[in-house]
Amino acid sequence: MDSDKEVLGTYFGVLTKADTYLNTIFLLLSFPLGIAYFVFLIVGFSLGLSLIIIWVGLLILALLFPLIWVLIAFERLQAINLLKMEIAPMSYSTNPSDGLWERTKAFFTNPVTWKGLLYLFSKFPIGIVEFIILTLGISLSFGLILSPLAYPWVTINIGFWIVDSFSEALGVAVVGILILPAVFHAFNFVAQLNGKFAKVMLGRNESVTIKSTPVLDDNKVDQSIKKE
């Protein structure tokens, strides 16, 4: 019995967790942001590369890449605050005395610059998939839940069953309520997959370097003490 209660608590408890709705907000933002990023990047690179022959393109690209870095930072903040992901910093700390060339070189040799750019481009197709999942999940669950209000004016056809009475619509609503937690569990799963992808793409690779420390020889230490 306790295990059954635990399973039910886990299943329905998703509706009471703030992280569930933060994940849903992240998924809702993915599609419009993906479109905006795609249009911005395509227009920016098209103008910059096509006009590079008259030097105007260099100016466009010089403005484009810092804006790309801002967008990468924005996506990183979303993943941290909405998806609760721990993501490494985007770059190593720089020396304040570094000149423009050193900073530019560090920017373009930073893997996060290129991984983040790929992430921004991928936001469009990923956003489409997530929008479809959101639309199907929300329309299915809430369509069933609201069937007692809709059945007098809308034909509710579930395939093998046409709802034509209040009692039947009420039963359908109960099914919708039972399905709703599963829908949000699916949203959480998709959001966490996106978060893991963001963790890889929007932060620098953390590598731990273990420095070897010299081991003191006790005999040599004793000999040095005697000499003194």
Query: Quick one: three-class SS letters along the chain?
Result: CHHHHHHHHHHHHHHHCHHHHHHHHHHHHHHHHHHHHHHHHHHHHHHHHHCHHHCHHHHHHHHHHHHHHHHHHHHHHHHHHCCCCCCCCCCCCCCCCCCHHHHHHHHHHCHHHHHHHHHHHHHHHHHHHHHHHHHHHHHHHHHHHCHHHHCCCCCEECCCCEECCHHHHHHHHHHHHHHHHHHHHHHHHHHHHHHHHHHHHCCCCCCCCCCCCCCCCHHHHHHHHHHC
Instruction: Domain count for the chain, please give it.
Output: 1
Give the percent of the chain with pLDDT over 70: 82
**Residue 20 domain flag:** yes
**Residue 195 domain flag:** yes
pLDDT in tens, 172-213: 889 889 999 999 999 999 999 999 999 999 998 765 333 333
Residue numbers in the chain where pLDDT is lower than 70: 1-4, 92-98, 151, 155-161, 206-228
Find the domain containing 92 and state its range. Answer: 2-207
**Residue 213 domain flag:** no
**Residue 54 domain flag:** yes
Evaluate if pTM is beyond 0.95: no
**Residue 225 domain flag:** no
